[in-house]
Structure 1
Amino acid sequence: MSEKQPNILFIMADQLATSALPIYGNSVVKTPHLSSLAEEGVVFDSAYCNSPLCAPSRYVLMTGQLPSKIGAYDNAADLSADIPTFAHYLREQNYKTALSGKMHFCGPDQLHGFEERLTTDIYPADYGWFPNWDDLKTRPTWYHNMSSVTQAGPCIRSNQLDFDDEVVFHAQRYLYDYVRRDQDRPFCLTVSMTHPHDPYAIPQEYWDRYSNDDIELPKINIKKEDQDPHSARLQEVYAYHDQDISEQEIKNARRAYYGAISYVDDKIGLLLKALKETGLDDNTIIVFSGDHGDMLGERNLWYKMSFFEGSARVPMIVHAPKRFSAKRVKESVSTMDLLPTFLEMATNSQQHTYAMPIQGKSLMPHIEGRKNGHDEVIGEYFGEGAIAPLLMIRRAQYKYVYCHIDPEQLFDLDNDPDELNNLAVDPNYADLLGTFNKEALERWDSNAMTQDVLISQRRRRLIVKAMNKGKRVTWDHQPIFDSSEMYMRNHIDLDDLESRSRFPKVE
């Protein structure tokens, strides 16, 4: 390859709502580093996840395949080791592939193509967090409730702070180690933080970056009796109606969430600093995205798990100002498109032979300003709150949501960005609704998918029950560091040791 392959730094934030970012119009939240990346980069104004739940969204992102293709049904789904990921494809192209942080892999393969995994995951690797469509009346007790909102506020430490501090520390060290060693292969480093995911708790420093008066309340309130069936099921899943929630508690949750976003932005600043200090910034493409959003109380909904904009839209920025001119992209794309995008970035070629058909489409036409970019997102959801497949088509200004047990939904997002007017009940849109319905019925077999989900849940339920008997063996990733080669060791000449550890090198 004549042109030097670029490094790729892929940064992820968990449960980051586009509505909370200045680059998408929020005037309260402070994110100077993300805003700087956006100012010089390509910003996607209509990017989505394909399944609004942590594990399914990440499996889709990693593989370029929709959930039903790879069995990515819920947060305890197994990602089969023989499904190629972007880490496999890039590693085949001679990339060093490393992951620092969360990817929510479930099952015995905890690498999925990553040559190195620098931390463990914040979530368990077993099959324990599965919904149960065989028992729809029982609320899953392992699922969190509204305490994330009612207990929101400042804290000194939390699980998530412990995790993300470690994630970014190891990512920085990876960059410093890379520049101090032979740079014979380019790198793709994925840095995946768990903030601003609930619980909404953040150190006083970040809490104090905002005042109570800064925090706006949700603008859309929908009564219990007026909720669509899926939203009503979601409220049941996280026990929304089991307590009264005050306006101040809502403000506290949003204030802590905004503080968590600023925390993420500060961590991004550390990564950018490391890139600049090492001189790696000139040949590194930075991609930033999220795995799904957060409703933050809009429509009286919290967290994710629906195809409403707050839950399903994600931020997406591609930053490489020496390669791509700054622009905004209005067409609808998805995180499923990242695998072919990364591969095209790595090879500078649009022609690739995939080991299995790829459902994602490269974003490079949008990034480079070519005219053949796509404008479509396909979504599937089978997780908490669903009792049958929930399916979505986003195209042009329309979003269509289909579930064979629920009324259809059709929204014109250009004229109704808050999704308050369901055009599926408007006779003037009967033809358009019929077109979408016909496509959904041709694209999906809901009854067959329901049976696939039920069988998957039953298999995993049996495995969890069996593995909890007797000796317990876990699949959680155990990072291994070769301490014999770290810091000061006497099997290496002292001058050589100090020389190879110092950057920049002293002549």
Structure 2
Amino acid sequence: MTISPKNILFIQVDQLTPIMIPAYGNAVANVPNLSSLASGGTVFDFAYCNSPLCYPSRSSMMSGKLPSEIEAYDNGSELPASVPTFAHYLRRAGYQTSLSGKMHFVGPDQLHGFEERLTTDIYPADFSWTGDWNSTFQEHNNDTTAFTQAGPCVRNPQIDYDEEVLHRAKRKLFNLARSSDPRPFLLVASFTQPHDPYQCEERFWDLYRDEDIDMPIVSAIPFDEQDPYTQRLLTQYRLRDFTPTPEQIKRVRRAYYGMISYIDEAVGVLLQTLKSTGRDKDTIVIFTSDHGEMLGERGLWYKRCLYEHSVRVPLIVRHPEFGAGIRVKENVSLIDLLPTMLELADPTGSLKAVDKIIGQSIVPCLKGIKRYEGTTFVECLFEGAGAPIMMVKKGSYKLITSLRDPEQLFDLSSDPKELTNLLANPSHANKYKELKCIAKEQWDLERIESAVLLSQRRRKFVHRALTAGAYTPWDFVPTDQGSGQCLRGGYAEWLSTNTLGSRFS
């Protein structure tokens, strides 16, 4: 079956673990639009990010390469302008490409293949967030203030930012519908919620009651019983000597649900805009997150670890030509999205990837065809790691391996809570050897370790130099697109050429 090129609306959120929405079994979240999208599309039950941190995950996703392949180590890393992204590929395939919202690009190239950005980014574009393996604490890390500030609020910077993302993405959809440009479009709408701080507007807070909020599945594990990396991570977060009360945990999770409901409303606005402009029948909708959120599981919060709540992401795809209600059990990851978009945008296969990518298209899954026993790779190369910490998952087995820390082997089919390390169990020795071989074939950990340390030194030096004296920021400043809606010529022509879907004769 030949796939005709479709428009693509790509919706990404920040720090949403799939375990907290109904499409993945949660019974608390009030998200009717996401549930409708899931029932009308394909849900990937085991989708993973390739790094549980914003920038490495997003640059990896856009390039179709693992973070270590493009030096995307931490939130202060730069994506080289010479690395092709799915925005570059879709432009070559004849698409118009736009980005509204966050993509956490660092460096002077703030477009990376997009023809236009509709908003600035919410985070800095310089090297100020460079990771440091030699530092116990870093100022840009999460900390305990998230617990003392959690709850309803009137406004905060995240709400301000996401409202602008939604406004500009919605207006772009209207402008695309009344444009004479015949090219299909890729519009990325990227929101910052439900990232901490755990705060939401009162109306979303009021969708929930304290007695309905579920608590973590796995209770906090004593510090001395945690694995060494988790101990370092808790220290980084200043959580080693801070234990949130049950009331604080419930308050955080209620606010998190409120932020998810905000995102759901935004998704509903975008889907309704597609429908009202008549583009819902020729537009593919992709919904995902950059990484997950621990939300108190095992006593852990935020992300940056390799447990399931942190590394799994929601992935829902609605294609107007394929069947609804499909669930995919194979492992997939965000680096599969570049080859997927390439196949969707260029069904003839004439446009090839210019260099090696290990991701594989998930288009067969959208057709209900079993793809393969997927193998996923996840990397921890940011502050706190101290050395590369890598994850390989094949089937239900998951290996966490490192030069510094004890290895961990889990079978998620029998141990979904990841409580039993099978490494010393002889009955699982063959599976360990298989995953260890895959890891050794994929990574040279000593080389990666040296590369990370060199990159940290270089970026810290460059940042200090560039902030001495006159400072020229790399942050993207969008143009005022509002002026394009205003009268600057003849009244009748302005009105007739910009009115969409008039019912009057």
The answer to whether the 8 A contact 2:282-2:320 is kept is no
Give 1:381 deviation, angstroms.
1.5
Partner SS for 2:77: coil
Could you tell me which runs of 5 or more consecutive residues in structure 1 were left unpaired when the two chains were aligned: none
Give 1:443 deviation, angstroms.
2.4
Partner SS for 1:268: helix
- Residue of structure 2 in register with 1:415 after alignment: 414
Give 1:442 deviation, angstroms.
3.0
Partner SS for 2:192: coil
Pairing 1:499–2:492 present: no
Partner SS for 1:178: helix
- Residue of structure 2 in register with 1:143 after alignment: 141
The answer to whether the 8 A contact 1:381-1:390 is kept is yes
Structure 1 residues 351-362: aligned runs within 5 Å: 352-362=351-361
What TM-score, normalized to structure 1?
Answer: 0.96
Deviation digits for residues 360-393 of structure 1 (CA, Å, limit 9, x no counterpart): 1100111112244451111112013211101111
Structure 1 residues 96-495: aligned runs within 5 Å: 96-133=96-133, 135-136=134-135, 138-220=136-218, 221-350=220-349, 352-481=351-480, 485-489=484-488, 492-495=489-492
Give 1:110's aligned amino acid.
Q
Give 1:352 deviation, angstroms.
4.0
- Residue of structure 1 in register with 2:57 after alignment: 57
Which stretch of structure 1 is more off in the superposition, 162-171 or 476-485? Answer: 476-485
Give, in whole Å, the separation in 1 of the partners of 2:478 and 2:41.
34
Corresponding residue pairs, total: 502
Could you tell me which runs of 5 or more consecutive residues in structure 2 were left unpaired when the two chains were aligned: none
Give, in whole Å, the separation in 2 of the partners of 1:224 and 1:305.
17
- Residue of structure 1 in register with 2:80 after alignment: 80
Pairing 1:18–2:18 present: yes
Change in Cα spacing, 1:483 to 1:328, as seen in structure 2 (3 Å) is closer
Deviation digits for residues 445-473 of structure 1 (CA, Å, limit 9, x no counterpart): 11110000001000100011111110111
Give, in whole Å, the separation in 1 of the partners of 2:155 and 2:213.
23
Give, in whole Å, the separation in 2 of the partners of 1:388 and 1:246.
33
Partner SS for 1:81: coil
Give, in whole Å, the separation in 2 of the partners of 1:437 and 1:376.
13
Partner SS for 1:424: coil
Give 2:99's aligned amino acid.
L
Give, in whole Å, the separation in 2 of the partners of 1:97 and 1:10.
11
Give, in whole Å, the separation in 1 of the partners of 2:260 and 2:481.
34
Give 1:4 deviation, angstroms.
5.0
Partner SS for 2:288: strand
Give 1:429 deviation, angstroms.
1.9
The answer to whether the 8 A contact 2:12-2:189 is kept is yes
Give, in whole Å, the separation in 2 of the partners of 1:269 and 1:374.
34
Deviation digits for residues 405-437 of structure 1 (CA, Å, limit 9, x no counterpart): 111111000010010011012232223223322
Which stretch of structure 1 is more off in the superposition, 341-350 or 194-203? Answer: 341-350
Partner SS for 1:240: coil
The answer to whether the 8 A contact 2:132-2:382 is kept is no
Change in Cα spacing, 1:401 to 1:213, as seen in structure 2 (3 Å) is same
**What fraction of aligned residue pairs are identical, expressed as a percent?**
47
Give 1:127's aligned amino acid.
F
The answer to whether the 8 A contact 1:11-1:288 is kept is yes
Partner SS for 2:317: strand
Give, in whole Å, the separation in 2 of the partners of 1:495 and 1:42.
45
* Structural RMSD (CA): 1.5
Deviation digits for residues 265-314 of structure 1 (CA, Å, limit 9, x no counterpart): 00000001100000010100001111000000000000011111000000
Give 1:483 deviation, angstroms.
6.2
Give, in whole Å, the separation in 2 of the partners of 1:3 and 1:53.
34
Partner SS for 2:453: helix
